[in-house]
Amino acid sequence: MERQLKNFGQLGNKRIVIAVTALNAIDSPGPGVAVIRAIRECPDFDVRIIGLCYESLEPGLYMHDIVDKTYQVPYPSSGTDTLMGRLMHIHEIEHIDLIIPNFDAELFNFIKLKDKLSDAGIRTYLPDLVQFEARDKIKLYEFGNKHGLTIPKDIIIHQVKDLSEAAEKLGYPMVVKGKFYDAIVANTLEQAQKAFFKIQAKWGLPIIVQEFINGTEINVAALGDGEGNAISVIPMRKLYITDKGKAWAGITLDDTSFIELARKFVKVTKWRGGCELEIMQTADGKSYIMEVNPRFPAWIYLTAAAGQNQPAAMVKMALGEKVETFTDYEVGKIFIRYAWDLITDIREFQKISGTGEL
């Protein structure tokens, strides 16, 4: 580590302006605040952090030691032209060097805008569209098959009558999933039908029916360089989860098989940027990739605490520095998430709500 960091002398002179999204550090948190905390802790550069928020009550924007200034941006559904217009307005004022988007729903737009942002002098460090779409839930099985990664079998269906055929192939229990969110385990056809209608009403079609994998869930945060190398890989097991299934506490693990799996994923996809693999390890030691999140997870600060500061490394790579692959990290580092009531004033709320800036 020490030796690597000395190479970053030239970054130290300039204040880097970094815009970060997902400041919703609430009970089901976005990663933004954790990403900023990790970046700020890196001694190799001086940063000015611009928060980009969607809602005026995202806690991060009231944390003035985390963000220097926040701007509201249009929701992803308003499209790239609108987003680009707003970003250029902010860029004129702030001279942004780098944008780190952290929401699943906004990534498509930012990836689409990559070249335009780069023309304007704003860097990003994102996968390209092909990489991004390959890990989409609906295509993951096909993708895994092609590259020799173990993914639970799934069948995409559009009609409730296709459930019985899917059940014959997958067996019970099976998992009925929506194309964006939600997953319900079904033990009988009746349960599966109920789940189908419930999810269809919420997320529409198609419905994904997936083989049920029983085992221990492991999460891995990885950072790829776009050439096939994983610069950092940190595996973590959740120690306790909230009723929404989010990590409440987690611990870094020492298990090379997860690291190898993440390296293989980064290699075959040539993944650029951060990602999180959700892995299920069965009793007989088989590891399935359940899902791939195309961005840093909310627990990303644990990577910095364990000695592989992934957000800081990504900043360096985005700015064109060569970062050597991390080798060591501290096993047994624990994070415990906690809630804290931040106090602010009506004036701040009115300012961000009324002017879109704080």
Q: Where do contacts with another protein occur on this chain (CB under 8 A)? A: 54-56, 71-83, 85-87, 89, 105, 108-109, 112, 158, 204-206, 346, 349-350, 353-356
Of residues 52 and 234, the one with the C-beta less far from another protein: 52
| 16 neighbors 46 (Cβ within 8 angstroms) | yes
Nearer to another protein, 138 or 241 (CB): 138
CB of 157 to another protein, least distance (A): 9
Tell me how far, at minimum, the Cβ of 241 lies from another protein, in Å.
Answer: 27
- Sign of the four-CA dihedral 149, 155, 158, 160: negative
Helix (H, G, I), strand (E, B) or coil at 127: coil
Q: Is the dihedral of CA 148, 152, 155, 156 positive or negative?
A: negative
Q: Which is nearer to another protein, 43 or 85 (CB)?
A: 85
DSSP per position, 3-49: HHHGGGGGGTTSEEEEEE-----SSS--SHHHHHHHHHH-TT-EEEE
Q: Minimum distance from CB of 75 to another protein (Å)?
A: 5
Q: Which is nearer to another protein, 129 or 334 (CB)?
A: 129
Q: Beta strand pairing status for 287-293 and 272-281? A: antiparallel
3-state SS of 97-109 is: CEEECCCHHHHHH
Kindly write down the DSSP assignment for every residue of 262-292, as one continuous string. HHHHHHHHT-EEEEEEEEEE-TTS-EEEEEE
Minimum distance of another protein from residue 331's CB (angstroms) = 41
CA distance 49 to 64: 10
Complex with another protein: residue 109 or 309, whichever CB lies closer:
109
SS3 260: helix
Question: Around Cβ 292, how many Cβ atoms within 10 Å?
Answer: 27
Shortest Å distance, C-beta 134 to another protein: 13
DSSP secondary structure code for residue 148 in this structure: T
285 in the Ramachandran plot: left (φ > 0), alpha (ψ -120 to 50) or beta? Answer: left
Q: How far is the CB of 61 from another protein (least distance, A)?
A: 11
Least distance from another protein to the Cβ atom of residue 233, Å: 31
Choice between 55 and 260, CB closer to another protein? 55
Question: Looking at beta carbons only, is 145 or 256 nearer to another protein?
Answer: 145
Shortest separation between residue 77's beta carbon and another protein, angstroms = 5
Tell me how far apart the alpha carbons of residues 12 and 7 are, in angstroms, rounded to a whole number.
Answer: 10
CB of 55 to another protein, least distance (A): 6
Q: Which is nearer to another protein, 321 or 348 (CB)?
A: 348
Which residue reads 């970054």 in tokens?
Answer: 11
Backbone angles phi, psi at 212, to 5 degrees: -85, 125
Cβ-based nearer residue to another protein, 78 or 145: 78
